[in-house]
Amino acid sequence: MLIASRLIYSRLVSLVVLTILAIMLSVPAAHAQSTIGAVTQVSGVANIQRGSANIVAAMNTPIEVHDKIVTQPGASLTIGLVDNSSLQLGPSSTLTMDESVGVNGVGAPSKVGLLGGSLHSTIVGAMRGNSPAFEVDTPNASATVKGTEWSTTYSDQNQDGYPDCKEFTWVDVQDGKVNVTICPHSGGSTEEVDAGGHKFVACCAAAPWGYDDALLFGGLGALAIGGITIGVLCATDTGDICGGHHHHSASR
């Protein structure tokens, strides 16, 4: 009876020790997964908002999932990622690190949000073929990597020729292929943009009137409320997602 009790006690102690070791080992792993990059270049003033903390960005500052990075006018910041991939944020820009994924055992961003300014993305190595594919979202478009290098710019400021619109996204592909989804939250379609190609998206709510030629609307089309007609969804440089065609191009 005494031997049996000692055996049970020994097994319980072993179980407790193994549980403690598992918890201790999981903490560094969770921390490593939350760290998805590091600052490799910073010029001027840039800040990292992490929860209630506001961190001044400096060389080798870790970047974690759910961070918000803000650059001041004249500033720039580069985030180094796994396999020499990188994200370069331009002046007066805001980037959110929304989702992460493990790439060869290393944490990496899988989805980021550009809320203003410009972002140059270079996705190579393991991140290039990773699933889910790396994605840059703006309030009215999303760009998903199929290749290597592209730039995304977003502005909520008025542009010439678009008096009723304050959501503008530009995608310029330098290398590879990028899938651009227009108005992703409204069920917009996706277009593949090749190297050297460009995509301009204006609005996702009320499209401006008076383009160079007829602009038709997809989705809900035109919505009449109380005698007032409102254009729904968006307009692009090629007019394809909205179903119409125009030749006006906005300048950045």
Domain boundaries along the sequence of the chain: 2-199
Exposed, middle or buried by CB within 10 Å (0-12, 13-18, 19+), for 238?
A: middle
Per the model's pLDDT, the better-predicted residue between 42 and 182 turns out to be 42
Tens digit of each residue's pLDDT (9 = 90 or more) over 192-227: 999 999 999 988 643 333 332 222 222 223 333 333
**Listed range (22-26, 50-54, 64-68, 133-137) with the worst mean pLDDT:** 22-26
Token pair 């199929």 in the structure block, residue: 146
Q: What is the pLDDT of residue 11?
A: 56
| pLDDT beyond 50 at 241 | no
Specify the pTM: 0.70
Per the model's pLDDT, the better-predicted residue between 176 and 218 turns out to be 176
Does 2.60.120.1440 match the CATH number of domain 2-199? Answer: yes
Tens digit of each residue's pLDDT (9 = 90 or more) over 75-118: 999 999 988 899 999 999 999 999 999 888 889 999 999 999 99
Mark out the alpha helices in 90-249 (DSSP H runs). Answer: 125-128
Local confidence band at 147 (pLDDT 50, 70, 90 cut-offs) = low
Per the model's pLDDT, the better-predicted residue between 203 and 155 turns out to be 155
Token pair 């270079």 in the structure block, residue: 122
| pLDDT beyond 60 at 146 | yes
Local confidence band at 133 (pLDDT 50, 70, 90 cut-offs) = confident
69's CB contacts (< 8 A; 6+ apart) are 46, 47, 48, 49, 57, 63, 77, 79, 89, 94, 95, 96, 97
Tens digit of each residue's pLDDT (9 = 90 or more) over 47-74: 999 999 999 999 999 999 999 999 999 9
> What is the C-alpha to C-alpha distance for residues 140 and 202, in angstroms, rounded to an integer?
8
Among 28-42, 213-227, 231-245, the range of highest mean pLDDT:
28-42
Q: What is the pLDDT of residue 130?
A: 72
DSSP string, 15-70: HHHHHHHHHHHHHHHHHHHHEEEEEEEEES-EEEEETTEEEE--TT-EEETT-EEE
Q: What is the pLDDT of residue 103?
A: 85
Do the beta carbons of residue 201 and residue 140 sit within 8 Å? yes
Q: What is the pLDDT of residue 13?
A: 41
Local confidence band at 163 (pLDDT 50, 70, 90 cut-offs) = confident
